[in-house]
Structure 1
Amino acid sequence: MISTRIARTVHVAAMAAAFAGAFAAAAVAADGNDTKSGGNGRPEGVRGRQALIKVSGEGRATAAPDMAIVQLSVVKDAKSAREALDANNKAMAEVLSALKQGGIAERDLQTSGFAINPQYNYPQGNDGSNRPPELIGYQVVNGVTVRVRDLSNLGEVLDKSVTLGINQGGGIEFTKDKPDEVITEARKAAVADAIVKAKVLAEAAGVSLGRLIEISEQASRPEPVPMVRSMAKEFAADAVPIATGEQTYNVTVNVTFAIEQ
């Protein structure tokens, strides 16, 4: 019994010594980390992180549009789908032929929608209850997108289209066919705006602006110049008045600068 107790005592003492050694090693490692971080408990990566200034710059440039995108549609109603389709086909064929003869290229004409819709009447009974719907005919809608590259002909294009059968649509968006040069001006203005902002922030903070770290551009779109006009024969004039205005392009950039220590 005595020998067994002695063995147990030796075993417990050995385990205590092992735990003590482990705790001592951990303490030494912690002291070493503190030494590397300057004794303040902060890792070198955090303590040495570079100070930055991040700003956004906005630039804008305008130019007169040189192209119009027009949405036009022919809508025809008839008792049967066949009759409505035949009437629509005849009117749209005349419109497309006139547009081509007027100088619109094939590449600038594109079908943008086609639909055959049944038309119903929803009668009510004498007691006010809803009766089953009655099919009364069909409506065929055929839409075309037209790019007019000579804006001086736009009024004439609209007038002829209405005369030949266009009776729905009239949405117009003015744009620039090749906007690269204008967008470049907007980009330069955006970067210049970002640099001015960064300099102001650095001066206000009492620091010096350092090197450029990063620059990126946000996706942007030109501000459209829309014009919507009701397209119906009774409203057609000898010459449709058109005001093209200006096209505005906006660019936003995100810029990051270092702060000199």
Structure 2
Amino acid sequence: MTKHLLPLALAAAIAFPAMAAAADSPTPARIIVSGEGEATTPPDLALLSLSVMREAKTARAALDANNDAMAAVIAAMKAAGIKDRDLQTAGIQINPRYNYTNKPDGGQEAELVAYQVTNTLAVRVRDIDKTGEILDKAVSLGVNQGGGISFTNDNPAATIDAARKKAVANAIAKAKTLAEAAGVSIGRVLEITDQNIAPPPMAINAKAFDAAAGAAVPTQAGENAYNVQVTVTFELK
């Protein structure tokens, strides 16, 4: 069987008009606008950072004392209904503590006086109404540093979707206003991009350690705002 090959010059001549037609077609007029949307929701998750610091003459003694105190704190968290998956060790530090005295020659002399051991526990509280009670228990059992609280949401997808819809509606309204002012109208949507802006958790530097013994630490969860920005490209008619 004989195959017939089209001469290269003729193939180029046939392809060229189609390419030329595509190149000659004008790019449709378009407008690019940005839109913003916000939706709020009450938090359903409290994040706590609790630290136990113990000091002793030796690192071993400081660590043993710290272990006992932290074990009591963890047991209290579990007794309050906190699951294992919501308890995580965030860091352990062992640091020497020195006492510095001035020397006659102007220098300083360092004397090792103790070792400090700090164990930090990250806690997720899913029943946020118990946050103050849990803080109070932790302090009573030996937590003496940290106390940072932030309120967030376990699954904010529905709230973000609501913010996204508002952002697109805002972009459409902007595009219509601009197009009307220019004496044209918007056509089909050519492109949409969005950017979620995560809410900064409503954080409190809890005064847990100033609380009176036996009194639950007062906390207020407030609400979280989720913001979305979109960029929409419209065809102009």
The normalised TM-score by structure 1 is 0.78
Q: Name the structure 1 match of 2:147.
A: 170
Which residue number in structure 2 is paired with residue 250 of structure 1?
A: 227
Equivalent-residue separation in structure 2 for 1:191 and 1:237 (angstroms)? 51
Structure 1 stretch 173-182 or stretch 227-236: which is displaced more? 227-236
2:69 aligned with 1:91, yes or no?
yes
SS at match of 2:50: strand
- Match of residue 72 from structure 1: 50
Structure 1 regions of 5+ residues with no counterpart? 1-35, 37-42
Structure 2 gap ranges (5+): 1-19
1:26 aligns with none
Higher helix share: 1
Identical columns (%): 53
Kept in 1, the 8 Å contact 2:208–2:217? The answer is no
Contact (CA 8 Å) 1:167, 1:233: kept in 2 or not?
A: no
Who is 1:121 aligned against?
99
RMSD (CA atoms): 1.9
Equivalent of 2:80 in 92, 97, 102 = 102
Shift of 1:77: 1.1
Letter in 1 for 2:127: D
**CA deviation vs aligned residue, 1:2-53 (integer Å, no higher than 9, x gap):** xxxxxxxxxxxxxxxxxxxxxxxxxxxxxxxxxx9xxxxxx847xx232211
Alpha-carbon distance in structure 2 between the residues aligned to 1:172 and 1:226: 6
Match for 1:259: what amino acid? L
SS in 2 for 1:187: helix
User: Does 1:112 pair with 2:114?
Assistant: no
Amino acid at match of 1:229: A
Q: In the alignment, what sits opposite 1:182?
A: 159
SS, match of residue 132 in structure 1: strand
Cα shift readout 1:234-253 (whole Å, capped 9, x = no counterpart): 75551211111111111111
- Whether the aligned pair in 2 keeps the contact of 1:77 and 1:139 (CA below 8 Å) is yes
Tell me by how many angstroms 1:233 deviates: 6.4
Q: 1:244 to 1:121 in 2, by over 3 A?
A: same
Q: Aligned match of 1:215 in 170, 192, 201?
A: 192
**What is the letter of the counterpart of residue 150 of structure 2?**
E
In the alignment, the residues of structure 1 paired with residue 56 and residue 185 of structure 2 have an alpha-carbon distance, to the nearest angstrom, of 76
CA distance in 1 between partners of 2:129 and 2:196 (Å): 32
- Higher normalized strand content (fraction of residues): 2
Aligned partner (choices 27, 38, 57) of residue 35 of structure 2: 57
What is aligned with 1:154?
Answer: 131
Name the stretch that deviates more: 87-96 or 115-124.
115-124
Which piece of structure 1 moves more, 172-181 or 233-242? 233-242
Letter in 1 for 2:97: Q
| Aligned counterpart, 2:202 | 225
Aligned residue in 2 for 1:130: 107
Query: Of the two structures, which has the highest relative contact order with CA contacts closer than 8 Å and spacing of 6 or more?
Result: 2
Answer whether contact 1:61 1:186 (CA < 8 A) is retained.
Answer: yes
Deviations 1:154-204 (A, max 9, x none): 111000000000001111110111211111111110110010011111111
Partner letter of residue 169 of structure 2? A
Give 1 or 2 for the bigger CA radius of gyration. 1
